[in-house]
């Protein structure tokens, strides 16, 4: 049976398109604004999101946008609520519903994501505000004696409880277990931890009665730790990532949309492209992007808070969305970057 949630989930991962993660919390957007010397005030945050969402033609390569609580209550410069504006362009509005990754008690250095209390009520309100899907990010840290079983199990449980609550409210849950790339660990260690994490997450989703057909997975890629002396190449990242997804993610899942996690803009595009090129027609799900930094970075640094830069910043966003759109079909080439420049 094709339900509304199934239709939404499939539309989120449609070929040629991906998701724009614009759900930075107030603390995170403050950090991003600091890098361009812009004060993080409500009007500035609104103006920045306005620039992103009003980019003409965004819908050609963006299927959905993840909003933050403040953003879903804000409106465009001509007074149209952002969720309504996006929907009118054929872009599906979504909402971050987690309350952030907090210190995990008795497990120094590890985090667990909070936000389950009162979630059903908040989901009902977000549905009224126009959201069709939700996001919850769990964070797994690799380090000495980390991750612990405590961290994996606690985060998997919270993700599954969140997903069940969303589906009960009619929202498609994006299930996001992020294995951080911070650290000097090898790609082999990242692969092992990603496999462990995904297995725990799918077991928890099963126990919590979540309908996998109405979910989208947002995983990190299997990559070398940022400070690892040996950095795996693009083909190796693609091979190891797809191998683990095949092992751990049931075919029933509607689709997979990767986070960028601190990879450079073009590297994130290349990795996605390599997977779609090497494994075309071989996988039960579409592989696409749900990038925050890797989509917004050129746009943010072009914008710099000035109205005069809006058109150029929008062009930078549309270019990255286009490149990543091509990567969902394995049609991206580095030369296309130079042509644009």
Give the interface with ligand 13P as residue ranges (CB under 6 A): 21, 137, 176, 259-261, 291-294
Which is closer to ligand 13P, CB of 122 or CB of 293? 293
Minimum distance from residue 24 beta carbon to ligand 13P (Å): 8
Burial classification of residue 58, based on how many CB atoms lie within 10 Å of its CB (0-12 exposed, 13-18 middle, 19 or more buried): buried
Cβ-proximal residue to ligand 13P, closest one: 292
Minimum distance from residue 155 beta carbon to ligand 13P (Å): 13
Angle, alpha carbons 190-176-51 (nearest 5°): 115
Minimum distance from residue 63 beta carbon to ligand 13P (Å): 15
Cβ pair 19, 272 in contact under 8 A: no
Minimum distance from residue 312 beta carbon to ligand 13P (Å): 22
CA distances from 5 to 13, 169, 215, 271, 283 (A): 13, 10, 8, 29, 22
Let me know if 102 is a catalytic residue: no
Which is closer to ligand 13P, CB of 25 or CB of 209? 25
Minimum distance from residue 97 beta carbon to ligand 13P (Å): 12
Minimum distance from residue 281 beta carbon to ligand 13P (Å): 27
Let me know if 188 is a catalytic residue: no
Which is closer to ligand 13P, CB of 209 or CB of 237? 237
Dihedrals phi, psi of 242, to nearest 5 degrees? -65, -40
Catalytic choice (24, 176, 195, 270): 176
Which is closer to ligand 13P, CB of 29 or CB of 232? 29
Which is closer to ligand 13P, CB of 183 or CB of 292? 292
Which is closer to ligand 13P, CB of 64 or CB of 292? 292
Catalytic choice (135, 214, 218, 270): 218
- Catalytic residue positions? 176, 218
């Amino acid at each position: 049976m094709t339900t509304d949630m199934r239709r939404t989930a499939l539309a989120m991962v449609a070929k040629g398109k991906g998701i724009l993660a614009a759900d930075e919390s107030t603390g995170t957007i403050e950090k991003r604004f600091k890098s361009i010397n812009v004060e993080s005030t409500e009007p500035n945050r609104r103006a920045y999101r306005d620039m992103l969402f009003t980019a003409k033609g965004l819908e050609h390569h963006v299927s959905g946008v993840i909003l933050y609580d403040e953003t879903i209550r804000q409106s465009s410069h001509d007074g149209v609520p952002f969720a309504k504006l996006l929907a009118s362009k054929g872009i599906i509005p979504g909402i971050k519903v987690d309350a952030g990754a907090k210190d995990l008690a008795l497990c120094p250095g590890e985090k667990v994501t909070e936000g389950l209390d009162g979630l059903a009520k908040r989901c009902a309100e977000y549905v009224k505000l126009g959201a069709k899907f939700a996001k919850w990010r769990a964070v797994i840290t690799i380090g000495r004696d980390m991750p612990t079983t405590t961290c994996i199990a606690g985060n998997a449980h919270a993700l599954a409880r969140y997903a069940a609550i969303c589906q009960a409210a009619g929202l498609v849950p994006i299930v996001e277990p992020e294995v951080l790339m911070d650290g000097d660990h090898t790609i082999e260690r990242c692969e092992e931890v990603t496999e462990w994490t995904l297995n725990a997450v799918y077991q928890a989703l099963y126990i919590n009665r979540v309908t996998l057909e109405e979910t989208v997975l947002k995983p990190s890629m299997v990559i070398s730790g940022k400070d690892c002396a040996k950095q795996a190449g693009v083909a190796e990242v693609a091979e190891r990532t797809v191998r683990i997804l095949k092992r751990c993610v049931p075919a029933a899942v509607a689709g997979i949309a990767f986070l960028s996690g601190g990879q450079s803009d073009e590297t994130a595009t290349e990795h996605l492209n390599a997977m779609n090129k090497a494994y075309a027609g071989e996988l039960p799900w579409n592989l696409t992007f749900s990038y925050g930094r890797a989509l917004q970075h050129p746009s943010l640094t072009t914008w710099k808070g000035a109205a005069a830069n809006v058109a150029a910043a929008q062009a930078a966003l549309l270019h990255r969305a286009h490149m990543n759109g091509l990567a969902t079909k394995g049609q991206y080439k580095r030369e296309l970057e130079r042509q644009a420049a």
